[in-house]
Chain A
Amino acid sequence: MAVLQFFPPSSPIVSARLHPVVLFNICDCYVRRPDQADRVIGTLLGSVSDGVVEIKNSYAVPHNESADQVALDVEYHRNMYMSHLKVNPKEVLVGWFSTGFGVSGGSSLIHDFYVKELKDSVKDLKDAQNSVPPLHLTVDTGFRNGEASIKAYVSVNLSLGDRPLAAQFQEIPLDLRMIEAERVGFDILKTTVVDKLPNDLEGMEASMERLYALIDDIYKYVDDVVEGRAAPDNDIGRFLADTLALVPKISPAAFDKVFNDRIQDNLALVYLSSLIRAQLGIAEKLNTAAQIL
């Protein structure tokens, strides 16, 4: 009786994490693709640690696709890989991406190619940690289900006894938290045109408004619960109590002292910088003043 065997990958990939740069790059490549191409294929670069693959960079590779054949420009891929390694030797090959929904037949051929590439690159780098099989990322730019589906797959070889049968693409959890994008500010990255980058104080204002809105919400919620309009939730109540307890309990006198000290420090800084600016103005006048001889 033949047994279907699953060969688990050598070092199990638990999950993957995608950086927002990669997503933007893929979108840009898709928008710029040549007219006859239906989808874009490219290489993913990143690093692996503890079974979590971090996808940090990517580049598109020109390819030709017909009904049953896929041809990838290997020379181009290798050139770009070398160039990228020059800048950042720690970002290594971790997989490949393609736009379009789901995994198609031609994808397994490309995946085999990348498996081979990974083995070759491991020989170059002698990186023992890199015994992780490559990742396949699909980005659905067509929004087929009405939502953005970005999925990551690992290929598992199915074999019957000794004969290899097929490759099964298993989906692995993908972490799409965009902390870097949050740092930049989603407002900047979300709209098609932003007229001005916010400066320090405007950003401060926006943050404070958000905080204020949060506090307002909590206030309303607590009011509702107290008056019986909303069902009380123990977890939320405990969480709120913990948060409020985080405000340090110092006597008003001590707090005033600390507060005044800080305010005076800041005022001293502002005074110092204004003084320096005045000095600069005078120095400049003196330096370029006409010399009376």
Chain B
Amino acid sequence: MANPMVRSFLQAVSSEEVTPPLRVVQMEGLAVLKIIKHCNEFSPALVTGQLLGLDVGSVLEVTNCFPFPTREEDEEVEADGANYQLEMMRCLREVNVDNNTVGWYQSTLLGSFQTVELIETFMNYQENIRRCVCIIYDPSRSSQGALALKALKLTDSFMDLYRNNNFTGEKLREKKLSWVDIFEEIPIKVSNSALASAFMTELEPESPVAQCDYDRLKLSTAPYVERNLEFLIDCMEDLSAEQNKFQYYYRNLSRQQAQQQAWLQKRRVENMARKAAGEEPLPEEDPSNPIFKPIPEPSRLDSYLITNQISNYCNQINGVAGQNFNRLYMMKALQEN
């Protein structure tokens, strides 16, 4: 008697798999250390690399990674890059490393990573892999003592819009997509194999204070904050340039509307005259007239990305300011004693 709980193979194959939404990215300590090492070595240049791992349910596991060589010139690098990737994947397969690409990582400078290139790369990856993620590492923030690792993904609604390349105000209002909805940040969990954690427990130094504490308790954060502010100011300038573009567009639009109305009035008057004279009325539309040509609406993608960057800088500044307050009050307490 067939157990009703057990589905036949045919049933299992034919039923659609519902992919649970990605909730957490689980990274191995090895991958974290490798990313940090690679990014730190080449900072301030920006580097990228590939992530390997497994896609399990609502968890995306990243178990290993390898760096990409930096491209000096752009000629015939496409073939080289692809060859390198294939070679590495093949070699890693031989030592039983997961051969499955789950995304890529890149380093950034103070958080200015939201660019169109990032979105393009995402779209490229998304075509081949069902679920991919991008890990962003910020070496400059990590020198402040925080581990600046972020896992990013494009939201589905944004991807649909991007595919249609349609960023007009109408569409965005329809989908209720604002600038926060472009990227989705996924929390990162770190896991280690039992062997690695055994070694680390053994090798942990006896001292109660670690290097990260020294970094965090430093009083001089001025260079970091200064650079942050510089970038922020640049972004604000970009944003105001975008705003000007929009203003220009709206002004043109309203001027065109006025012209259209005027022309329509004239046509109507003419038609009245013609009707009085008994002739055929002229059509009220004239597509060949240049004032009826629709003006293309500027895409809002850039301004959204810039807004994202600005908000990122603001967050970072807030974080540093908070830490500064802590440190200053501590200094004050020390001084009083």
Contact = CB atoms under 8 A, between A and B. Distances in A.
Interface string A135-152: 000000101000110000
Contacts of A207: 145, 212-213, 216-217
A20 B199 CA distance: 10
Interface string B304-335: 00010011011101111111111010111011
A186 B319 contact: no
B84 interface: yes
Q: Which of B147, B210, B322, B334 has the most CB of A within 10 A?
A: B210
A170 interface: no
Nearest to A82: B87
B79 interface: no
Interface stretch (A1-9, A125-133, A272-280): A272-280
B328 A263 contact: yes
Nearest to B211: A182
A148 B181 CA distance: 48
Interface residues of A, number: 89
Interface in B133-154: 142, 144-147, 149
B95 to A, nearest CB: 5
Nearest to B142: A183
B173 interface: yes
A262 B328 contact: yes
Given A28-B28, A28-B30, A56-B37, A87 B68 contact: yes
Contacts of A272: 317
B188 interface: yes
Contact of B211 (A21, A88, A183, A189): A183
A292 B321 CA distance: 42
Interface stretch (A105-113, A160-168, A172-180, A224-232): A172-180
Interface stretch (A116-124, A210-218, A234-242): A210-218
Interface in B71-85: 84
- B-side binding surface: helix, strand, loop or mixed? helix
Interface string B178-195: 110000000111111111
A108 B311 CA distance: 59
Contacts of B201: 190
Interface size class of B (residues with CB under 8 A): 35 or more
Interface string A37-67: 0000000000000000000110110100000
A286 B133 CA distance: 32
B209 A62 contact: no
Nearest to A29: B95
Contacts of B200: 181, 186, 189-190
A11 interface: no
A280 B310 contact: yes
A203 interface: yes
Contacts of B253: 291, 293
Q: Which of B64, B147, B179, B198 has the most CB of A within 10 A?
A: B147
Contact of A201 (B64, B205, B319): B319
B246 interface: yes
B188 to A, nearest CB: 5
Contact of B195 (A30, A180, A280): A30
Interface of B: 28-30, 32-34, 36-38, 40-41, 63-64, 67-70, 84, 87-88, 91, 94-97, 142, 144-147, 149, 169, 172-173, 178-179, 187-205, 208-213, 215-217, 225, 229, 232, 236, 239, 243, 246, 250, 253-254, 257, 300, 303, 307, 310-311, 313-315, 317-326, 328, 330-332, 334-335
Q: Which 6 A-B pairs have the closest CB atoms?
A: A182-B211, A273-B314, A148-B202, A200-B319, A182-B210, A32-B96
Given A79-B87, A193-B192, 10 more contacts: A25-B34, A73-B94, A87-B70, A147-B202, A184-B36, A184-B212, A192-B197, A203-B146, A210-B209, A211-B217
